[in-house]
Structure 1
């Protein structure tokens, strides 16, 4: 894996970037329940619930859901009305049907276990590239790039790239995000990256660049600082 990552006329020292981000993440870690386990089933359920939903909304629903359905075998036998009630606070009713279908397939095709292979994960109802990568990263500590609106924003600002709604489907962004992943500590790196996007590198025009642990490599922070000095 290359130590120097170049794009758009900017070069990032990848090992230095990773060390700084992970060190910052240790002091700004958000201890959600789904982060306190490496159980693939619990992580899979969390990632499906988190799809298009804020973590603060998911937290209470997730806790009660896993108390009621601690195993895939229990979930697969749950009546649909019961699932509707358990997941109603999250909205997105289509998700309920997908969870029900997925639990049955996990029992029938994988013996009640969440598969580790990415192709197998992607074959499950409701599992997209991001969810499959997140499960592999957080359950098995595999170096999977997590490409979503938040990580694209961090990468785009880091390399001074134009960010569009379609950027997460852009191969250039996907490759940069993949190249930045820490190969030795992908789980803690990825949690730190998500926390950075939520707490520092936010969507608004003026993020907290002055408190960013990786601002020394960032094209956006450099431009923002120069504009502030004028």
Structure 2
């Protein structure tokens, strides 16, 4: 790990009020604003268009996030559209058979998703009267809904400043702050705290879409396009020739 300081700011009663993070190339609170502004400006000209990004419908976003798990976004577009056309509400999913759902998802592989989608829909109908719960704990208790999916639904449907921690966002966070990543990093409290520090709390929906697209288009796992990165100025990896 490079030189990195996580400074937790507390009030006189000991309650955490905020966090200040510094590293070799990320030296002040202004750099946090710089990161957010540069990311947003880049995204306005380079964003990817997907149908689930144009809606605030909780059900639509939940289905999209489940389909996106371990699957390329471009690949799920026709499946997403077909699924919502056949099952316009969560009740139709609950009333369907698992085999019917599996038939729609067939092209995506990972057929276990059909069973989890059906179980999830049945639970929502029975326990929540067809209304998708919005509390994080209740969302995460649903079959097939991970911490990431619950956070994504709350951010993209409701506008909460949620941290979306997965392999991709861990990678870019580690590169910025100069921290090597492992398979367990997406469950790391430190990485969650670092990414929470970066999140634009005024525009979390746009911020997270932009970060996802930056990971996909620029900050790839192999052969990243560092010379085209809008935030290379404050990135440890980019300034050290791809070395952490």
> Relative contact order: is structure 1 or structure 2 higher (C-alpha 8 Å, sep ≥ 6)?
1
RMSD: 1.8
The within-5 A match list for 1:157-196 is 157-196=175-214
Task: Give yes or no for contact 2:25–2:236 (8 Å, CA) kept in 1.
Answer: no
Larger fraction in helix:
1
1:147 to 136, 158, 165: 165
Q: Which residue of 1 aligns with 2:103?
A: 85
Task: Give yes or no for contact 2:24–2:236 (8 Å, CA) kept in 1.
Answer: no
Which whole-Å CA distance do the structure 2 matches of 1:167 and 1:81 have between them? 36
Q: Which residue of 1 aligns with 2:39?
A: 21
Q: Which deviates further from its counterpart, 74-83 or 100-109? A: 74-83
Task: Give yes or no for contact 2:19–2:197 (8 Å, CA) kept in 1.
Answer: no
Matched positions, count:
225
Task: Give yes or no for contact 2:52–2:60 (8 Å, CA) kept in 1.
Answer: yes
Q: Which residue of 2 aligns with 1:215?
A: 232
**TM-score (normalizing by structure 2):** 0.88
Query: Residues 95 and 192 from structure 1, CA distance in 2 versus in 1: closer, same or farther, beyond 3 angstroms?
Result: same
Residues 31-87 of structure 1, C-alpha deviation per residue, up to 9 Å, x if partnerless? 111111110100000100111111122111111111111111111111222111111
Q: CA offset at residue 162 of structure 1?
A: 0.8
Residues 190-210 of structure 1, C-alpha deviation per residue, up to 9 Å, x if partnerless? 000000000000001x41111
**TM-score (normalizing by structure 1):** 0.93
Query: Residues 36 and 93 from structure 1, CA distance in 2 versus in 1: closer, same or farther, beyond 3 angstroms?
Result: same
Are residues 1:5 and 2:26 paired?
A: no
Task: Give secondary structure in 2 for the equivalent of 1:130.
Answer: helix
Query: Residues 9 and 197 from structure 1, CA distance in 2 versus in 1: closer, same or farther, beyond 3 angstroms?
Result: closer
Which whole-Å CA distance do the structure 1 matches of 2:196 and 2:216 have between them? 19
Which whole-Å CA distance do the structure 2 matches of 1:118 and 1:76 have between them? 22
Which whole-Å CA distance do the structure 1 matches of 2:44 and 2:26 have between them? 27
Q: Which residue of 2 aligns with 1:100?
A: 118
Residues 163-210 of structure 1, C-alpha deviation per residue, up to 9 Å, x if partnerless? 112211121111101111110000000000000000000001x41111
Are residues 1:121 and 2:139 paired?
A: yes
Q: Which deviates further from its counterpart, 14-23 or 147-156? A: 14-23
Task: Give yes or no for contact 1:4–1:14 (8 Å, CA) kept in 2.
Answer: no
Which whole-Å CA distance do the structure 2 matches of 1:219 and 1:75 have between them? 46
